[in-house]
Amino acid sequence: MRTAYTSDQIRTAERALMALLPDGTLMRRAATGLSVVCAGLLPGVYGSRVALLVGSGDNGGDALYAGALLARRGARVEAVLAGSRTHQAGLEALREAGGRTVEAPWPDVVRRADLVVDGLVGIGGAGELREPYRRLAVAASEASGLVVAVDVPSGVDASTGRVEGPAVRAQVTVTFGACKNGLLVDPGRSYCGRVELVDIGLGPYLPDPDVVSLTDEDVADLLPRPGAESDKYRRGVIGIIAGSERFTGAAVLSVGGAVRAGAGLVRFAGAKAAVGQVRAHWPEAITTVLDGPSVADVGRVQAWVIGPGLGTGEEARELVRAVLATDVPVLVDADGLTVLAGDRSMLRRSAPTVLTPHAGELSRLLDVPRDRIEAARIAHVRRAVTELGAIVLLKGSTTVVAQEDRPVRVNATGTSWLATGGTGDVLSGIGGTLLSAGLSGYDAASCAAHLHGLAARLASTGNSGGQGPIAAMDVARALPQVIQSL
Ligand SMILES: NC(=O)C1=CN([C@@H]2O[C@H](COP(=O)(O)OP(=O)(O)OC[C@H]3O[C@@H](n4cnc5c(N)ncnc54)[C@H](O)[C@@H]3O)[C@@H](O)[C@H]2O)[C@@H](O)CC1
Ligand SMILES: [K+]
């Protein structure tokens, strides 16, 4: 499991460790690790041009010390001092090692560098970058050389991943002690490039993480696997209510996700047209044409999925109400969420409920503008959990899963090619299958997101090793191979 922390958590841990060590020890450890990563990125350190962007805090200090180490190995290091103050000991170290400081016009320094080291702000950064940091961040992002961010790309909020205004786009982010939330969650994540963690001995002083990210091994351990005693009922029966006369594809894709994720049995119920399509694509499913808003005739299930392509009319509303009135876990997606936004009282129930909104759907559920949700995904997924009393999987560029009193789980798999119609329907079927197999809502949702992302990557990766377009059904089809590989 990868773990991440807020800036405050990191600072508290750093203080505890610093109290036991001689002054400056942590910064030296950080700078040494940073210089090693930088040296590894350059074809040769000797003679290479390195530009340091140095802010007024300790983040700038790290950059100066690392620059000194590179200068001692023969790099031509030039430091742009951007702050009203500069870390004095770091500056002396750089000068002693032969590095120099430059005044305007600094854009040339950034432009001609083989490597730009962004030490403008780290975990002490707050809000939009001020000038001249702002211009330097833009210049760094446009530089032709490699850009390495110190601890966190300047302009990215380390605790939330929020980015207001320009921020440094790095190819590599060298972070110290522990990963910060903002390096795992978009929009911040997309500014980091590869994240390298430098151990500075913080481990024993870190609290429980604020954010975690499951690895393949974690998911493999959580996934149910059939044993000798398993039969289709014991493996899990999932009930899916999806599709409508007008929208039948969502039903086919949701059932596809369930069948391919390893459901023991899929019971599908829906409008006649949707049933016809499901039968044609998935003879494995047992189907029921719904005659009115009752689910009594569908048979026993261990978990329900409701919502994809369902519509939002009166009948859909009554179906959502009927499913939520049962005592088994329920996953609500798509139109089901729109229905819920109109009447959140349906969420008062004792069995687990998993909601899988994208930012637009969550915007309706919370009555918060979509862009605010996208800018601060962790805060909003937590708020949704508290306000709605459910487990919430917020889909998007970074999918996050939250449950009360647990760290937010950030999904580390996936590809931008997943942003295509119908992939969410497949996800609902995977999540429902894992719920029906007995996983908790929190585990079912996070494992579903993980498998979904891996399947999308597999489906979109050709023989060339590059990635290309995928259809939602390709994601469902790739699931067995992904599960085999875990
Ligand atoms: N505390 C520690 O033990 C360690 C800290 N380290 C480094 O120290 C960093 C934190 O240092 P600091 O606490 O000095 O904080 P930072 O260096 O991250 O930033 C604080 C400075 O940036 C300015 N600033 C904040 N927001 C700004 C904005 N939007 N626009 C322009 N200027 C802004 C502040 O006025 C302040 O001068 C870490 O990110 C890491 O790089 C490492 O050396 C490892 C050890
Ligand atoms: K930085």
> Quick one: how far is CA 32 from the chain centroid?
29
Q: Can you tell me the mean pLDDT for 188-196?
A: 97
Residue 50 has pLDDT above 80, yes or no: yes
Q: Are strands 265-270 and 237-241 parallel, antiparallel or unpaired?
A: parallel
pLDDT of residue 202: 97
| Closest ligand 1 atom, residue 84 Cα | 37
Per-residue confidence (pLDDT) for residue 209, from 0 to 100: 97
Residue 226: the pLDDT is 86
Pocket test for ligand 1, best of 6, 25, 34, 121 (most atoms within 8 A of CB): 121
Provide the pLDDT confidence category of residue 106 given band limits of 50, 70 and 90. confident
pLDDT at 203 over 90: yes
Find the range with the poorest average confidence among 186-200, 204-218, 223-237: 223-237
pLDDT band for 6, please (50, 70, 90 cuts): very high
Taking only the tens place, the pLDDT of each residue in 51-92 is: 999 999 999 999 999 999 999 999 999 999 999 999 999 999
Instruction: Output the furthest CA–CA distance in the chain (Å, rounded).
Output: 83
83 known ligand binder = no
Instruction: Specify the ligand 1 atom closest to the Cα of 177.
Output: 44
Assess if CATH 3.20.20.150 describes domain 216-485: no
User: Which numbered ligand comes closest to the C-alpha of 158?
Assistant: 1
Q: For the chain, give the percent of residues with pLDDT over 70.
A: 100
How would CATH label the architecture of 2-210? 3-Layer(aba) Sandwich (3.40)
Residue 177 — pLDDT band, cuts 50, 70, 90? very high
What six digits make up the tokens of 428?
Answer: 């609902």
Tell me the CA–centroid distance for residue 486 and ligand 1, in Å: 40
Taking alpha carbons only, the member of 208, 294, 261 closest to residue 452 is 261
Residue that has been written with the tokens 């497949």 in this structure: 426
How high is the pLDDT of residue 234?
Answer: 80
Q: What is the ipTM of this complex?
A: 0.98
Residue-wise pLDDT tens digits, 347-363: 999 999 999 999 999 99
Q: How far is CA 245 from the centre of its chain?
A: 35
**Beta strand pairing status for 330-332 and 2-5?**
unpaired
**pLDDT (tens digit per residue) in 225-261:** 888 777 777 889 999 999 999 999 999 999 999 999 9
Q: Going by CA atoms, what residue is nearest to atom 2 of ligand 1?
A: 14
Whether 104 has a pLDDT exceeding 80, the answer reads no
Residues of the chain with CATH 3.40.50.10260: 2-210
Mean pLDDT, the chain, integer: 96
Sheet holding 353-355, edge to edge: 179-180, 2-5, 211-213, 408-410, 400-402, 391-394, 353-355, 330-332, 303-306, 237-241, 265-270, 286-289
Calculate mean pLDDT across residues 427-431: 98
Residue range 420-435: average pLDDT? 97
CA 158 – CA 188 distance, rounded (Å) = 8
Pocket of ligand 1 (CB under 6 A): 14, 18, 26-27, 30, 55-60, 62, 83, 121-130, 133, 150-151, 176, 200
Share of the chain above pLDDT 90, in %: 91
Q: pLDDT: is 384 or 233 the higher one?
A: 384
Kindly identify the ligand whose nearest atom is closest to the C-alpha of 31.
Answer: 1
Nearest to 59 by CA among 118, 119, 104: 119
462 pLDDT exceeds 80? no
The ligand whose atoms approach the alpha carbon of 116 most closely is 2
Output the pTM of the full model.
0.94
CA-only gyration radius of the chain, Å: 26
Answer yes or no: is pLDDT of 283 > 90.
yes
Q: Which residues contact 156 (CB under 8 A, 6 or more apart)?
A: 125, 162, 163, 167, 168, 182, 183, 187, 188, 191, 192
pLDDT bucket at 96, cuts 50 / 70 / 90: very high
Res 187: pLDDT: 94
Write out the residue limits of the CATH 3.40.1190.20 domain(s) in the chain.
216-485
pLDDT at 463: 74
